[in-house]
Amino acid sequence: MLLASLSDQAQAQARRDTLTIGMVEFPQDMHPFITNQLVRSYVHGFARRGVARFTAEGTLICGLCTEIPSIANGRAIVSKQPDGRQLMSVRFTLRPDLVWGDGVKITSRDIALGFAVLQLFSPEPGLIGVKEIDEANYTVEFDAPRYDFDRLSPDPLPDHLEGPIFRAAKDGLEYGRQSLFNRAPTTPGLWNGPYLVDRFLPGEQASFKPNPRWTGTKPGFQTITLKVIENTAALLANLLSGDIDLASGLTFDQSLAPAKDHADRFEVRFIPSLSVAMMVPNFANPQLADKRVRQAMLYGIDRRAIVAKLFENHVPVADGTLAPAEISRDPDIRKYPFDPARARALLAEAGYKPGPDKILVGADGKKLSIDLSGASGIRLIELVEQVIQSQLRAVGVEIVVRNEPPRVLLGETVRKRSFQGMVIFTSLPAPDWIPYARFHSSRIPSTANNLGGSNYGGYANPALDTVLTNAQTELDPIRRLAMWKEIQAIQAEDLPILPLYHPAAVFIQPRWMTGILPPKSLTLPSLAAEEWRVK
């Protein structure tokens, strides 16, 4: 019996040298800059670190730098030019102990390459260059002051590996195909985090091993494996059976099972987050291009009922992109309470009349039928879609659900704007975020930005473009807050997105583990993966 007990303990300890995480979504490629996907950021958190980041408490700290720049410490300087323009120069210093996974030193040349690649895919407005001072010091140059200058240093790319590929490519798309991040992501020199990518199967699985050249806290696991389980019901079953240790992507209702029925095995926290669940309309669709139709649909959805029935009132209804925790949120923003009569009136005003099957028909004879695309296999999304479908049918709008696997929806459909009606997904903005990338017309995905924009609906409003640009260049927080109110007012009137609710972040930690649960959900948990370990 004693030998059997010791054997069981040895097997348990061996298993706990490894960690297996099930995920409902997974990136198709591993380049950090080509597309903006939350799931890729989560995966990169194990093996990649940036210049600066927000802590779980919402404080900006250095990742690779020695000091966060500010005007007070002299690292951020605004200079007036003879023609009256104001330029901004922000100096960063890299820590001296930084190396890539192959031992090559991280230098300002790697930052300059990061800037050059970003310019092809996701150019930051106003960021005009990176000047290398020496190996450790560089300045980030802006054509106007920026309120968020302290977090806008490009993150590094290994120039000794990616530089020759980038400079030889004829355009951004060719570089993306040839990049080692996509062709050979297990190359150690691509990574600078606590773990290295040991194995990668696009859309399926990745495994990580400790980075022997990491100078921070020693990682607690010898292997971390991420694998796709695209159905959330199967994801939960795998977690409860012990086939996986952690689950990323469980819906709110499914997370209640470990909390209520398996509290002896799991510690579960539901933490308010900055994320917003929304429906993004395609403005190329003539029916959705009519503001009255968008407003009518939001009036026709009982979002409070969705929050009560599906989330047990643990999450708030969203009236815009900003969650209640954001200090810039305007509490007086225009609201769209559930009002079917108002919805019908707006649709009638837009020229729609009831058809023989009670679905409205426009003056052109076309039914008011809207496709809604979401991630298949995610039970909660499917439930939300069913509620929306039923409620909008009651006001004469037909919703046709056309869900796709997450890898297709995020990797192809959304990025290439191939959805015909609306797409439903969740976005997690950074704290104190001006939504330029989400709503400015220059950020509509196109060949010009190598499909790198995040304005997936194709929304264009010159008035919003102007205030977004002005807000980003305003250093005075009081004046910027007034601009934020204007941004929210335009969004609430025009509805470039249809906000639904602000999801709570769910953190499920096995009781034999520590290090995962943050006090607030303002960052990705994988950015602290080196702190994860057996108790």
Q: What is the 3-state secondary structure (H, E, C) of 314-381?
A: CCCECCCCCCCCCCCCCCCCCCCCCCHHHHHHHHHHCCCEECCCCCEECCCCCECEEEEECECCCHHH
Question: Stretch 372-392: mean pLDDT, rounded?
Answer: 92
In the DSSP assignment, the letter for residue 94 is B
Domain with CATH 3.90.76.10 in the chain: 54-161
pLDDT for 4 equals: 44
Lowest mean pLDDT among 104-108, 161-165, 517-521: 517-521
**Main-chain dihedrals φ then ψ at residue 111, nearest 5 degrees:** -65, -40
**Strands 127-132 and 137-142, sheet pairing:** antiparallel
pTM for the model stands at 0.76
**What superfamily in CATH does domain 54-161 come from?**
Dipeptide-binding Protein; Domain 1 (3.90.76.10)
Question: Stretch 455-464: mean pLDDT, rounded?
Answer: 95
**Main-chain dihedrals φ then ψ at residue 6, nearest 5 degrees:** -65, -40
Q: Which residues contact 132 (CB under 8 A, 6 or more apart)?
A: 108, 109, 111, 112, 138
Lowest mean pLDDT among 116-120, 156-160, 286-290, 523-527: 523-527
Three-class SS of residue 311?
Answer: helix
Q: How many residues does the chain have?
A: 535
97 pLDDT higher than 70 = yes
CATH code given to domain 12-48+193-270+511-534: 3.40.190.10
pLDDT for 7 equals: 44
Confidence of residue 231 (pLDDT cuts 50, 70, 90): confident
Mean of the per-residue pLDDT values of the chain: 90
CB 307 within 8 A of CB 318: no
Q: Between 379-393 and 303-311, two packed helices, what is the crossing angle to 10 degrees?
A: 150
Lowest mean pLDDT among 19-23, 247-251, 387-391, 485-489: 247-251
Domain with CATH 3.40.190.10 in the chain: 12-48+193-270+511-534
Domain with CATH 3.10.105.10 in the chain: 276-501
Question: Stretch 482-511: mean pLDDT, rounded?
Answer: 92
Confidence of residue 120 (pLDDT cuts 50, 70, 90): confident
6 pLDDT higher than 50 = no
Per-residue b or e along 325-343, where b marks 16 or more CB atoms closer than 10 Å to that residue's CB: bbebbbeeeeebebbbebb
Confidence of residue 260 (pLDDT cuts 50, 70, 90): confident
Tokens of 521: 């959900």
Is domain 276-501 classified as CATH 3.10.105.10?
yes
Of residues 178 and 509, more confidently modeled: 178
Q: What would the pLDDT profile of 194-212 be if each residue is shown by its tens digit?
A: 999 999 998 889 999 999 9
Question: Stretch 147-166: mean pLDDT, rounded?
Answer: 96
5 pLDDT higher than 50 = no
Q: Between 232-241 and 252-261, two packed helices, what is the crossing angle to 10 degrees?
A: 20
